[in-house]
C-alpha cells in the first residue's frame, strides 16, 4: 500500500497515556496536519477492551490507516488487530516509553509525528507472538517482567518512576533458570532476565538489543546473566549507549521459532504491558506482516 491511496483515516486516542494532560490540545495539533480531502474520525477509549470494537468498526468502514495516539500499549492493542491485513498503522507517540516509535524514527512531538500523514511512507515490519500475545517491540520474562508488573500498578508513570522501582527491586529479585530452544537448538540458562526483541529497545532509548531489526524476520533472544551490584552503573550506561550487547554478562541468539520453559507460571511483559503466563512459552515471528507509516 502507498500513502497516496489512503483517503480515510481513524484516530484512536488513549486519554490516559503518558504524562501529557492537554490531550485536547494534542488532538487540535493533529487535526491541523490531516491532509485535505481525507475523511477522518477520532475515537477516545477508556479501557483496552473498547479498542476491538473500534478497530472492527473502522476497518468495516474501509479505513486504510489507523493512527494510534498513545503509548506502546495502545500501539500493541491496535497493531495486533490489523496484523496481516491491508490496513496500515501510524503512531503519534504520547506514552511513557514509546519504544516502537523511537525504533522507527517517528518524531516524539505530536504535531511533528502527525506531519507524516502527508510526508511519510508505508513499510512492512515483522510482528511476533508469545503464546497468544502479540508484541512488536519486546517481550520477556525475569526481572523486566517483574518490574513491568509493579510499574503497571504504580500511581505515577514516566521514566523516573520506572527507574525508582527498578533500583528498589534489584536487591530483592533472584535470577531464574530457563530451558530455551532456539530454532531447535537447546540451551540451559541462568538468567536475570530473558528478552525477546523484535525492535531494539524497551522504550526511553533503553536498547536491550541494539542490533535487532524489525524487517529481518528474526527474533533476538537476549539473556542477561546474573551480575553483582557493582555492575549496575556499567550495564545501565551500556543500555543507553547501545553497547550492552558487548557486555560479558549478555548473550544474544537469533531465531524464527523459540521455546522457553521455566519452573513455574509467572509474569511476562509484552511491549511493556504485564501479563501472567504459564511455564511454557512459544515465540514466533511473522515476517513483514504489519504495515506502518514511517518517516
Domain 133-286 matching CATH 3.40.30.10: the answer reads: no
**Rounded-to-integer distance, Cα 87 and Cα 1, Å:** 9
pLDDT at 22: 66
DSSP per residue, 108-123: SSHHHHHTHHHH-EEE
Query: Hey, where are the domains in the chain?
Result: 3-119, 133-286
**How high is the mean pLDDT in each 10-residue block of the chain (295 residues)?**
80 75 79 90 87 93 95 94 96 92 96 95 98 97 90 78 86 94 97 98 95 98 96 94 97 98 95 94 98 98
Q: Does residue 144 contact residue 269 with C-beta atoms inside 8 Å?
A: yes
pLDDT at 195: 98
Q: Does residue 157 contact residue 14 with C-beta atoms inside 8 Å?
A: no
Half-sphere exposure (CA, 13 Å, Cβ side) for 98?
27
**Which CATH superfamily does the domain covering 3-119 fall into?**
Probable inorganic polyphosphate/atp-NAD kinase; domain 1 (3.40.50.10330)
**Rounded-to-integer distance, Cα 200 and Cα 16, Å:** 26
Whose cell is 507472538? That residue is: 129
Half-sphere exposure (CA, 13 Å, Cβ side) for 12?
32
Q: Could you tell me the pTM of the whole model? A: 0.92
Topology alike, domains 3-119 and 133-286: no
**Rounded-to-integer distance, Cα 21 and Cα 258, Å:** 40
Amino acid at each position: 500500500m502507498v500513502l497516496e491511496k489512503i483517503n480515510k483515516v481513524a484516530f484512536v486516542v488513549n486519554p490516559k497515556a503518558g504524562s501529557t494532560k492537554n490531550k485536547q490540545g494534542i488532538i487540535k495539533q493533529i487535526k491541523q496536519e490531516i491532509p485535505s480531502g481525507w475523511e477522518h474520525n477520532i475515537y477516545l477509549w477508556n479501557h483496552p477492551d473498547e479498542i476491538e470494537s473500534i478497530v472492527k468498526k473502522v476497518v468495516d468502514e474501509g479505513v486504510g490507516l489507523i493512527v494510534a495516539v498513545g503509548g506502546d500499549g495502545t500501539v500493541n492493542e491496535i497493531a495486533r488487530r490489523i496484523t496481516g491485513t491491508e490496513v496500515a498503522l501510524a503512531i503519534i507517540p504520547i506514552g511513557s516509553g514509546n519504544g516502537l516509535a523511537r525504533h522507527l524514527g517517528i518524531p516524539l512531538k505530536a504535531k511533528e509525528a502527525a506531519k507524516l500523514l502527508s510526508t511519510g511512507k508505508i513499510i512492512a515490519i515483522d510482528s511476533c507472538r508469545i503464546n497468544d500475545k502479540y508484541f512488536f517491540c519486546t517481550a520477556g520474562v525475569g526481572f523486566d517482567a517483574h518490574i513491568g508488573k509493579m510499574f503497571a500498578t504504580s500511581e505515577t508513570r514516566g521514566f523516573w518512576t520506572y527507574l525508582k522501582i527498578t533500583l528498589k527491586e534489584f536487591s530483592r529479585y533472584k535470577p531464574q533458570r530457563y530451558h530455551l530452544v532456539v530454532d531447535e537448538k537447546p540451551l540451559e540458562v541462568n538468567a536475570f532476565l530473558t528478552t525477546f526483541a523484535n525492535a531494539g529497545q524497551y522504550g526511553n532509548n533503553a536498547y536491550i538489543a541494539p542490533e535487532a531489526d524489525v524487517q529481518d524476520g528474526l527474533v533476538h533472544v537476549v539473556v542477561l546473566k546474573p551480575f553483582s551490584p557493582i555492575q549496575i552503573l556499567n550495564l545501565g550506561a551500556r543500555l543507553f549507549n547501545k553497547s550492552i550487547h558487548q557486555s560479558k554478562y549478555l548473550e544474544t541468539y537469533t531465531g524464527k521459532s523459540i521455546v522457553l520453559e521455566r519452573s513455574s507460571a509467572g509474569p511476562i511483559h509484552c511491549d511493556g504491558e504485564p501479563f501472567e503466563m504459564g511455564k511454557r512459552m512459544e515465540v514466533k515471528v511473522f515476517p513483514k506482516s504489519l504495515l506502518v507509516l514511517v518517516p
